[in-house]
């Protein structure tokens, strides 16, 4: 077998090894594509959660703009307010003392 066939074989083998390296490890490799796909999936999930939260917040804003019931409920829970004529009772749970 002539020497140039051997040289051609070595060159082709080297090119094959370089291309395989790039496919599995280098930039744009299968591992990088998999990692980026996982990142896209996480971001899509976060986006869906944020969209759902936005829908709830829009509904709450609309309710606060149009109805007094939402404003009243917000005042009761956030500010501890009561209506005129109501009696406020505060229940204090006893602390359970832990003994050493």
Whole-number mean pLDDT of the chain?
A: 85
Question: What are the tens digits of pLDDT across the range 22-32?
Answer: 777 777 778 88
Mean pLDDT to the nearest integer, 17-43: 85
The count of residues in the chain is 100
C-alpha dihedral (78, 84, 86, 87), degrees to nearest 10: 80
Q: Which of 1-10, 22-31, 40-49, 76-85 has the highest mean pLDDT?
A: 40-49
Distance CA 95, CA 100 (A): 15
Q: Which residue has the higher pLDDT, 55 or 89?
A: 55
**pTM of the predicted structure, to 2 decimals:** 0.50
Question: Do 29 and 22 touch, CB atoms closer than 8 A?
Answer: yes
How is the chain split into domains, by residue range? Answer: 25-75
By three-state DSSP, how is residue 47 classified? helix
pLDDT of residue 99: 60
**Percentage with pLDDT > 90 across the chain:** 30
Q: Which residue has the higher pLDDT, 76 or 46?
A: 46
């Amino acid at each position: 077998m002539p020497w140039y066939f051997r040289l051609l074989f070595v060159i082709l083998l080297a090119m094959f090894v370089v291309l395989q390296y790039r496919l599995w490890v280098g930039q744009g490799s299968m591992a990088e594509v998999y990692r980026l796909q996982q990142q896209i999936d996480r971001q899509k999930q976060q986006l869906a959660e944020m969209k759902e939260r936005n829908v709830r917040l829009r509904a709450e804003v609309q309710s606060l703009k149009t109805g007094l019931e939402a404003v009243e409920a917000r005042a009761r829970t956030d500010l501890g307010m009561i209506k005129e004529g109501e009696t406020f009772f505060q229940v204090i749970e006893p602390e359970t003392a832990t003994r050493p």
